[in-house]
Structures are given as C-alpha cells and as structure tokens.
Amino acid sequence: MREAVFMIIPILIILGIACFYHMCFRFRGAEGLVLAVLSVILGMRLGALFGSFQYGVMMLVGLGCLGILVFAIHPKQLKAGKYSNFFEPGLVLFILGSLGSVLLFYGDFIQNIDDFHQWGIAVKYMLEKDRVITTDCLDFTGDPRLPMATSYFHLFFQKIVGYNEGNMYASSFIFSLVPACLMLGKRKWKLGDVLSSLVFLVALYLGYYSLYVHPYKSLYVDLPCACWAAGIAIWWKGARKEEGKIKHGICFVCFLVFLSRIKYAVGALFGAFVLFYAILLCFTDGSGKKVLNRFKKRPMALALSLVGLVILGFAGGRALVGRLPGSLSATIEALSFSSKKAKLTFQALVTALWSKEMTNYSRLKINLIIFLAAFFLLLALATLLLHSRRFFILGIYGFVVSVGYLLVLYVTYVSTFSYEESIRVSAIHRYFSILAIFLYALLLSYFLEEKKAKIFLALCLLVMATGVNSYFLAKASALDSEKIYRYKSIVETKRRIEKIDQVAGEDARVYLLVQGYSLDRLNELPMAVTSYYKADTYSNYLRLPWKFNEEGSLIFVTQQSYGITGLPTLLKEGNYGYLWIYSYDAYLKNHLQEIADFDGKVRRGLYQVSFREDGRMILKFVNHLS
C-alpha cells in the first residue's frame, strides 16, 4: 500500500509544475498540465545527460515546489480569490482520475507482450541501471530507435515511488488523461459544464475499451499517441483565437515535435494530420465558410505552418532513417501491383477492413469499416439537424485522414514488414485502432463544444457502455486478474523462473527453448516474460533462436538462421550453464540426441549443460519445474 500512497507525490509535483506555467506565463490549468508532462520528460532526459536520472527528479521536484509556493502566496491570488482560474473542471477531473487510477491498478502486474520485451522493460532497465538505453543493451528492447518519451514519464514515477508494475499502468493512464482534459477546453464551474465534461471523459474511456486491443491498461504507445494528437488539434482550435498567439504558436510547434517522440514514425504522421487540421482551420471560420485570404490576413499562421512542416519533416526523416530499405525497390514494390507481396498485402488489408475487430474484449464487435460508417453517419446527422457546417468540415477532414492513413499503412507493410507479416497484415487491428481513437476523440470534442449536440455525446456514451462485459474489470483495473488473456501462462512462467533461481541460483545463465511456439497463435509469452524478469541472464528470443525446425530456427530480429546443430555452439559461446526446455515437439525429441548426450527421453524442465573434452555437449536433467 506504501507505493500507492507515495504516488501522490509525483502527481503533486506535476500539478506544481503546471502551477508554475500558470503563474509565470498565464497558461490555463490543462495547458499547464501538458507543459508539465513535457517538462517531466525533458527533465528526466537532462538528468541522464548529467549522469543520473536522480538529478532530473531533483530539478523537477524543485520546479514543482516553486510553482506551488508562488501559486499559494501570490498576493493577486490571495486578494482576488482567482484559484478557480487554475482549478478549472478539466484539471480537477485530472486529479480525481489520477488518484482513481492509482487505486484501480494497485497490485497489478505487467501482462502484455510488448510491455514485457519493449515498453515495460525499458522503464525497468533505466530504473535499475540508471542510464539511458543505448545500442549496447538493445537485445531485449526491440527497435534501436525506440522513442523514450513515454518511458521517461513512467520512470519519473518509478524513481520516486520505487519499482511497482501496477503504478506503471497508473502512470500510463495519467499520461493519456492529460490530453483528454485538454480537449475539455475552457469549461466553467457550472453544473451543465461539469456534467458534460464528466460524460465526455467517461464516453472517451469507454470508447478506448471498445476500440483498442488492450484498452488503457498497457504501456503501448498507440493509444496515447492518438489521444495526444486529438488533444493538440482540439486545443489549437481554441488557442489560436486567444491572447498570446505567439506563445501558443510556439507551444503548438513544440507539441507537434513531442508527438513524433511518443510513437516511432506514427507520431510524426499524426503530427502531420494535426498540422493539416490547423491549416484547414485557417481556411474556414466558425461557420465553415471559405476564407481564401486567411493566410494573407494572418501571416503568423503561414509562418507556423511552414515551421511545423520543416520540423515534422526533420523528425519524420530521423525516425525513418534505417527503417526503409537501403534501395527504393521495396517502396516501388508497394506501389506496383505486379508484385506478389504487394497484391497479397493489398487483398489482406481490404479483407481486414471488414473482418478484423479492433478489440477482442468488448461486447461491441466493431471493425474499422463499421466505425467509419458510424463516424460519417453521425457527422451527417449533426450537419443536417443542427445546421452547422463545422461537422461537415470535420467529415471532410476525417475522410482525407482515413484515406491517407490507410495508404501509408499499406506502403509501410509492403516496404518494412517481412513477407509473412505483410501478407497477414500482422497486428492490423491495433493499427486500425489508432485511426479510430483519433477520429473518435475529435468527434466527441465537437459534440461537447456544441450545446445542441449534447444528445449525440450522450448517444456515444450509451453505445460504448453496451460494450462493457465481464472482461471490463480485468482489462480496466487490477481486479479479476484471472480473466486476463493467458494469465496462467504468465503466472506459471514467473513461478518456474523463481524455481530455477532456487535450483541454479539467480545469476545462472539459462538458455530457453519453446518448441511449442506457433506463428498462427503467436504464443510468445513465455519468452517475453523471461526477457522482462531475467534479461541479463537468460537467452533473448529477439536475438537468439527459441525454436528449431527443419528449415533452421526462429529468430525475430536477425536474418541469421541457425540449425539445431548450432545449439551447442550457442550455449558454449554464451556461457550458458543451463538449458530450459519450456515445451518440446517431435522435431526436438528426434534431433536433440544427435547433438547432445543425456539420460532418458526429452522432457520439459531444466538441464545442466557441460561439455566433454572432444566438444560433445552433455545435458543432465536437474528439475522438471512443475
């Protein structure tokens, strides 16, 4: 319970930094929160440059305390009682939501594939090693261009509170809550505004549950990337009309750059979508009428658009370096329907639009086509019934963004994914979810702004509420953990790791084989779990084989293909003292005896590895681990 109570400290620091921006630069409460998040990420990065993340924490604590102090004793605040100017409904809902998330996720555990071998382990590594992840330690983190923006934010909480997996999910919830509160705009302390704000947030998060594969209990960066993009777009729609246009313009450009650091490459793409939205606003007024000389009247809008395009191009270029093939052949292949890979990927993508549901847990079985149809239908009804062209403009924007996103997605699959992943459009439901969440958040914010459209907001809430089912508590909190997908596999793998630590010692070098892995089922949890908890001492499935077959072996992140005859060399060169056979099949059963001497038949469990003088490998069964 100590960790849950201590989570109040980093939340207070973030609020204190928001106070600082409110008092010194006159930003609203929700705007101050956004700047506070960026300050946390920047502060942690600066701390690493100075030699320790602790220095970053100290700087942030000092800034937060300064903000609280100035806010509390400033004579104008005391005299005029203007505390409500900062504590607007959105900020208060942020406080309540943050504290609620700490309670909801108390006692939770890491449970998603990419959280184990990428996003979660990045935070865990930096917490333990007190240094930024670099290319010399990427065996377990995935892509070497891994953006660290969200990881730095989670690390800030972990450094103050201590290692706690449930709190990482809480900080992830808080990270997505900030832009959601930003979408509330300048809500007043009126009953109608407060109730509509609450309905908006509930509808938004219920939508996340029905539109995203892991709802909001994950460290995946897809959901926050889409939510931040929508939040920035909606904020700019109001901020561009307020006083202090220069400071808001500078913030807007900074926010676009920040988007490119939330999710690799995709963040830059959504930054471009937000910039397109901002440019579209410059050509339309509140009624949706065309104003072609808008840029002439507002040169600042043109200047910011150009600066934003240059920065986004630079950020996107940096993100794509090394990602696209050295030649343009793969990209040309994506644009040419004479290629077998391009044809099959296109067919699979079109089929997925109709057949792939965006989440497996909601009672609402929504694919992208159904979502887009509902999205445009609601906008058409709002346009006709409310006689507002704003919804018509949003419909045009949504159509352009949807087509552009799907085209980029198609080219990406063909040019950067392996043949097998491309023709199966691997993880496509998650990528569809990013677009759906972005458009859904924009839609809700438009309904929130228009008083006559509150009925549509309530309708969205009711529809998404019907998606709640028996999985909801398990996917939205630490309750009913037994219902988590492959819960038993996670718990059992952790238990076997603890058993190995008892038998062989915590520092023993262990090589893991999972012969029961299937490409169709993608059951890689045993390897991912061991990567997370024993990254330094166990073989890593991202770099080394975890399954052998007639064609060689399975390896995720390298093109090398070892046959089973190369296993003794891998064990010897890696100084592995033990071999853990998590599962076996007929191939391993028939061929293991060709490369090793061992007593009895092949079975699941732990083997001790040694070598004879002639180099022949010897396997001695130690424990069945069951």
Mean pLDDT, residues 435-455:
95
pLDDT tens per residue across span 216-242: 899 999 999 999 999 999 999 988 888
Summarize the confidence of residues 81-94 as an average pLDDT.
Answer: 83
| Region of poorest pLDDT, from 179-188, 328-337, 481-490 | 328-337
Q: What is the pLDDT of residues 456-480, one digit of tens each?
A: 999 999 999 999 998 899 988 999 8
Domain boundaries in the chain? Answer: 1-182, 487-623
pLDDT digits (tens, 9 = 90+) for 353-393: 999 899 888 999 899 999 999 999 999 999 999 988 899 99
* Geometric angle at alpha carbon 452, from 448 and 453, rounded to 5°: 45
Alpha helix ranges (H) inside 26-164 = 29-49, 53-73, 75-80, 83-86, 89-104, 113-114, 120-129, 149-161
Q: Encoding tokens for residue 89? A: 């409904």
* Six-digit token string for 216: 């909001």
pLDDT level of residue 314 (50, 70, 90 thresholds): low
Residue range 579-598: mean pLDDT, rounded: 93
Mean pLDDT, the chain, integer? 87
What DSSP state is assigned to residue 581? E
Q: What is the pLDDT of residue 178?
A: 97
pLDDT score, position 287: 46
| Overall pTM surpassing 0.85 (yes/no) | yes
What whole-number distance in Å separates Cα of residue 270 and Cα of residue 276? 10
Q: Distance between alpha carbon 202 and the CA centroid of its chain, in Å?
A: 20
Q: In sequence order, which residues have a C-beta less than 8 Å from that of residue 183 and are 6 or more positions away?
A: 200, 230, 231, 234, 235, 441, 444, 445, 448
How far apart CA 356 and CA 427 sit, in angstroms, is 10
- Give the DSSP letter string of 543-560: TS-SEEETTEEE-SS-S-
Within 183-244, residue ranges assigned H as helices are: 191-211, 222-239
Q: Give me the percent of the chain exceeding a pLDDT of 70.
A: 87
Which has more pLDDT, 575 or 141?
A: 575
pLDDT at 500: 96
Q: What is the pLDDT of residue 2?
A: 76
pLDDT above 90 for 543? no
Query: How far apart (Å, rounded) are the C-alpha atoms in residues 173 and 176?
Result: 5
- On the question of pLDDT at 347 being above 50, the answer is yes
Weakest mean pLDDT among 80-84, 309-313, 318-322: 318-322
Give the number of residues written for the chain.
Answer: 626
pLDDT at 146: 60
Query: Chain centroid to CA 290: how far?
Result: 37
